[in-house]
Structure 1
Amino acid sequence: MSLLCLHSVFSSPATILHSHSLVQTRPNTPRFVVLSTHSNAKILKTNRKSRYGQTLSLYDDDSEEEGEDDDDDDEGKEDDWLAEDDDFAEIEEYDVNGSKYRSQMGVNKSKSKGSRRSPVKGCGVGSFRSGRSLQVAQEQLDIRNRRNTIKNSFDDTYYNSKDVNQRGKVRTRNATENRYQRLSEEIELDEKWLPLLDYLSTFGLKESHFIQMYERHMPSLQINVCSARERLEYLLSVGVKQRDVRRILLRQPQILEYTVENNLESHVAFLISLGIPNSKIGQIIAATPSLFSYSVENSLKPTVRYLVEEVGINEKSLGKVVQLSPQVLVQRIDISWNTRCIFLSKELGAPRDDVVKMVTKHPQLLHYSIDDGLLPRINFLRSIGMRNSDILKVLRSLTQVLSLSLEDNLKPKYTYLINELHNEVQSLTKYPMYLSLSLDQRIRPRHRFLVSLKKAPKGPFPLSLFIPTDECFCQKWAGTTVDKYLAFRQKLLLKDFAKKHERRG
């Protein structure tokens, strides 16, 4: 029978020892301390049951003494298992797939005297009793180790093959540098540029072209080849011809730096918003690649508003104007418009509305030099007997007369008009189209063909015969087939070419 004693304690802090238990009292506080021959205090639990499910009394009888002693021994062993620090080293944490686990390192290694176990968060006694957490952690660690072993093996194979490939690339680069020997002599050639140079070479660019690109904009050769391919393929997809890529890069090498999302797409969308057909987008880009260097919101749209609000171009005609002269979008349109409008008004007395019509039909007018372009041609028309009103009438109908060469176009046509066609200069005001037609391909062949057939009208040759198509001309005036006329024209061209060659010789 266990002995149970109750003592009232009134004392200063004191420690009462019995068996393995330590009980410390508070100062000047009455305490009742349970003294027992048992080391386990669970005997105080009133709901304690035996291993057979029977409720145990706080005062055990003799019949249960043996069983109770067995229980105490078992539980004492459990407590001893947890208390024997010498048999287990400190518990350490490690991560497996993002979860924390604890493992015992250095089992059966004695600890130095006075050392303390590090606190472990979230580690319950039950987990160590069962040993399941440690087993799961160990299994997952083994799996992780196997994965790392496989990955390391794969990485070794990959890097070994990469080294082989890199050695192969070195040999290829040496061969490539030999191909760009002139370029490497002219500039400091970085081997990182070689893939881009090889790709651009597929568009017909040569070493001399790369030197031009380097001098115009060196960073364009530093672009990653994948980025350059993406951007050029986008331009090809919107209608740019492959043969035009070389010219675009020579004029605007910066285009390799413009991203598809932030630049190219927005500019193409802007052109489409003006009413330009998709089939013409590529031509406009090829004619004015510098378009992409201008901000859509801060430059291009304000230019369009100026053309509509200040110049007076009809908004529906904007697409046609841009197709005829894409440069109108990248020029200081306010200066060019004002200077030419004032010049034509003073020189010919042209009303503003007439100048607007000229610009709408031929927007290139805004790019022509006044001193070297407009004024010399106006003076030529004056020299052949035209008055300012006649010149203005011709320009309203055919503004591109101001772009024609004086020596190779206007003067030879005027001479043929007077000497061969026996016509007067005033006929040009009625048929200004005559000045835009080819002398070798249209005017001379038709006139000579009718003369050879003896079907040429008497008197001044009508300029209206040069305007219809070849089919209409042959059917209505020549009375023959188109093939016969084309054969005659070909022989005439060969004779004229032979005469010109003899003169040069």
Structure 2
Amino acid sequence: MVSIFSLYPCNPLLYSSSSSFRNFVEWHFNPSSSSNSNSASSSIDGRGGGGGGSKVLLVIAAAHSNPNILKTNRKSKYGYPLSTYDSDDDDEDDDDEDGDWLSDEEFAEPARLDTNGKRSKLHASKGKERQNEKEWGVRDFDNEPSTRIRGSEGVASLRRNYNGKVPNGVTLDKNLKEKKYPRLSEEIILDSKWLPLLDYLSTFGIKESHFVQMYQRHMPSLQINVCSAQERLDYLMSVGVKHRDVRRILVRQPQILGYTVENNLKSHVAFLAGLGIPSSRIGQIIAVAPSLFSYSVENSLKPTVRYLVEEVGIKERDLGKVIQLSPQILVQRIDVSWNTRYMFLTKELGAPKDSIVKMVTKHPQLLHYSIDDGLLPRINFLRSIGMKNSDILKVLTSLTQVLSLSLEDNLKPKYLYLVNELNNEVQSLTKYPMYLSLSLDQRIRPRHRFLVSLKKAPKGPFPLGSLVPTDECFCQQWAGTSLDKYLAFRQRLLVRRFAEKFERKM
């Protein structure tokens, strides 16, 4: 028995006719099918799970459903997360070197809140070197060192090798798949015809555990012709996707391997470019929100953009900047996110709409933050230090990033330094709200201590204006000394504080 439950009435993910849909269901979920005999539940796009049984539940996601609302937190036999939708925690060893496009070591580290307002774990970088994107290795059948083969020549060679014969004419070992991918073979029914694709995808750092996740999310993704897969990935890299980001993209959205270049990928890239997004940023947007390819440009993405302009009030010239800051805004239920936060800020702070629009334009991540765990605690903190609602509104309108900063690691320490060391009143934050975004260790403390050491710190409140300019301007206008002298002082101060923290931990 097949039951279909739609979260929302419209789902642009379904492109097939009703007859082809029925054929798909009968083929994919027939309990008598040898390849699907263990499937108990799945989704239209292949993101379902495993298990036995004859009943099938098809959960159809809406075009704008928030990808973090319906987490199932499933795990494979080996304990790897098998989240149904996009999540930054899907791949714990992702490289995040370029994750923060606007990072600056002298600015505050954001709290990295997820949609539930909780702090997400930082991904640990393994630091392993990736293989060159122009070449990849085919493992020898006897576990000998890899043979380097270039580009399309390698794909053609793989197809010949797995066509039942190896180059020397010996029949393909029937147990080859178990030898090459033992854990994957144990987890799923592995077809030897998939091996050329698996070997190719392995060159992007995709491991057996990742293949299991891809299979669980979209089983047909492992049945794609290796030449077709290479064509699609080559195109993505040609528009700016980095070789090291391919793994993260495919683990989150394995369906991309099945999207044709002409009918899907190019139209979505053209849509992004039409919003005024520079070509140098398109690859980063795809890496952050690969699920955008599963949404129809005409029926989903363009209506979202129209809503941002007509209902939210974002100016068309700012659309490109907003999407660069938060690509997820294209694939979330934007009407719900906007309305709930608009009503909250209006009721809590008396914020007019134009102020809230400014906040969203400067920091669209605001639409992702939890109200109870993200927005409200930070507003209450600003109240607790003596700020009125009108002052809080000024600070948030000028520097909305305050809502992303950690209370314990950023806001509280900087407030204590402001009143105890700099002898300033909290009201000074309304004039210099940027103080809250600056790094305490990299900028605030070094500049203060440097002027004190030179006996150039004024009596009374320390001028917060000296913290805003660049290092060069600070040395010329306030310190009256060379940049090298200040940088050397800052380095010694950082080393000394690091040693003090280390001793306290010991």
Q: Which TM bucket (shorter chain)?
A: 0.5 to 0.7
Distance in 2, matches of 1:235 and 1:484, equals 46
The match for 2:355 is: 354
C-alpha distance in structure 2 between counterparts of 1:462 and 1:452, whole Å:
16
- The letter of the residue matching 1:281 is I
**Partners in 2 of 1:498 and 1:295 — Cα distance?**
54
Q: Do the aligned partners of 2:394 and 2:430 also contact (CA within 8 Å) in 1?
A: yes
Written as runs of structure 1 = structure 2, the 5 A alignment for 1:240-389 is 240-389=241-390
Deviations, residues 180-211 of structure 1 (Å, cap 9, x unaligned): 22222222222122111111111112222222
Q: Which residue of 2 aligns with 1:409?
A: 410
How many Å apart are 1:262 and its aligned residue?
1.0
Distance 1:261 1:317, change over 3 A: same
C-alpha distance in 2, partners of 1:170/1:490?
61
Opposite residue 275 of structure 1, the aligned amino acid is G
Deviation at 1:166, TM superposition (A): 7.9
Q: 1:168 to 1:382 in 2, by over 3 A?
A: farther
Query: Residue by residue, what CA displacement relative to the aligned partner does 1:140-183 show, whole Å, maximum 9, x if unpaired?
Result: xxxxxxxxxxxxxxxxxx9xx98564845725x85664232222
The answer to which structure has the higher helix fraction is: 1
More off after superposition, 340-349 vs 482-491: 482-491
Letter in 2 for 1:401: V
Cα deviation 1:363-386 (Å, max 9, x = unaligned): 111111111111110000000000
Separation of aligned partners in 1, 2:200 and 2:178: 14
Alpha-carbon displacement from aligned partner over 1:423-446 (angstroms, at most 9, x marks no partner): 111000000001111111111111
Looking at structure 2, the residues matched to 343 and 194 of structure 1 have their Cα atoms a distance apart, in angstroms, of 53
Amino acid at match of 1:194: L
> What's the CA shift string for 1:266-286, capped at 9, x where partnerless?
000001111111111111111
- Matching of residues 110-125 of structure 1 within 5 Å: none
Q: CA deviation digits over 1:213-255, x for unaligned, max 9? A: 2233222222111111111111100011111111111221211
Measure how far apart 1:484 and its partner are.
2.3
| Matched residue, 1:184 | 185
Give the aligned residue type for 2:289: T
2:238 paired with 1:237:
yes
Aligned pairs for 1:460-475 within 5 A: 460-475=461-476
- Paired with 2:166 and 2:206, the residues of 1 have a C-alpha distance of 31
Q: Which amino acid aligns with 1:374?
A: L
Could you tell me how far apart the structure 1 residues matched to 2:201 and 2:502 are? 40
- In structure 1, the partner of 2:435 is 434
Q: TM-score, with normalisation over the residues of structure 2? A: 0.65
- What is the DSSP-based 3-state SS (H/G/I as helix, E as strand, rest coil) of the residue aligned with 2:172? helix
185-194 or 343-352, which deviates more = 185-194
Return 213-222 or 326-335, whichever deviates more.
Answer: 213-222
Aligned to 1:495: 496
Q: 1:455 to 1:337 in 2, by over 3 A?
A: same
Higher relative contact order (CA 8 A, sep 6+): 2
Instruction: Give the Cα separation in 2 of the matches to 1:164 and 1:366.
Output: 55
Q: Structure 1: how far apart are the matches of 2:254 and 2:191?
A: 18
Give, in whole Å, the separation in 1 of the partners of 2:168 and 2:228: 22
Q: Distance in 1 between matches of 2:439 and 2:171?
A: 56
The aligned residue for residue 445 of structure 2 is 444
Partner of 1:394: helix, strand, or coil?
helix
Give the secondary structure class of the aligned counterpart of 1:170: coil
For residues 343 and 166 of structure 2, the distance between their equivalents in structure 1, rounded to whole angstroms, comes to: 72
The corresponding residue for 2:172 is: 170
The separation in 2 between residues aligned to 1:436 and 1:309, in whole angstroms, is 31
Alpha-carbon distance between aligned partners in 1 of 2:298 and 2:456, rounded to the nearest angstrom: 61
- Within a 5 Å distance, the mapping from 1:15-30 to structure 2 comes to none
Q: Whole-Å Cα distance in 2 between the matches of residues 479 and 473 of structure 1?
A: 8
Whether the 8 Å CA contact 2:187–2:212 is kept in 1: the answer is yes
In the alignment, the residues of structure 1 paired with residue 254 and residue 170 of structure 2 have an alpha-carbon distance, to the nearest angstrom, of: 31
Match of 1:29 in 2: none
Q: Distance in 2 between matches of 1:179 and 1:503?
A: 49
**Alpha-carbon distance between aligned partners in 2 of 1:164 and 1:230, rounded to the nearest angstrom:** 24
Letter in structure 1 aligned against 2:396: L
What is the alpha-carbon distance in structure 1 between the residues aligned to residue 176 and residue 169 of structure 2? 13
Aligned residue identity for 2:281 = K
CA 1:187/1:419 → structure 2, altered by over 3 Å: closer, same or farther? same
1:454, distance to aligned residue in structure 2 (A): 2.0
TM-score (norm 1): 0.66
What residue identity is the alignment partner of 1:170? Answer: L
Which 10-residue stretch deviates more, 215-224 or 352-361? 215-224
Q: Aligned partner of 2:284: which letter? A: Q
Deviations 1:101-139 (Å, cap 9, x if unpaired)? xxxxxxxxxxxxxxxxxxxxxxxxxxxxxxxxxxxxxxx
Q: Which amino acid aligns with 1:267?
A: H
Q: Percent identity?
A: 81
Report the residue type matching 1:400 in the other structure: Q
The residue type equivalent to 2:201 in the other structure is: L
Stretches of 4+ moved more than 3 A in 1?
A: 161-169, 173-177
The change in CA–CA distance for 1:169 and 1:499 in structure 2 (over 3 A counts) is farther
| Structure 2 residues not aligned, in runs of 5+ | 1-159
Partner amino acid for 2:502? H
Return the letter of the residue paired with 1:350. Answer: A
Kindly tell me: are residues 476 and 209 of structure 1, through their superposed partners in 2, closer, same or farther at Cα, counting changes over 3 Å? same
8 Å contact kept, 2:221–2:257: yes
Cα gap change, 1:166/1:371 in structure 2, threshold over 3 Å: closer, same or farther? Answer: farther
State the AA in 2 paired with 1:240.
V
> Which of the two has higher C-alpha Rg?
1
Separation in 2, partners of 1:188, 1:447: 64
2:200 paired with 1:199:
yes
In 2, Cα distance between the equivalents of 1:499 and 1:414?
21
Alpha carbons of structure 1 residues 168 and 432: separation in structure 2 relative to 1, 3 Å: farther
Partners of 1:362 and 1:403 lie apart in 2 by 9
Q: Distance in 1 between matches of 2:361 and 2:269?
A: 22
Q: Is the Cα–Cα contact under 8 Å of residues 177 and 192 in structure 2 kept in the other structure? A: no
Superposition RMSD in Å: 1.9
Preserved CA contact (<8 Å) 2:166 2:172: no
1:214 aligned residue = 215
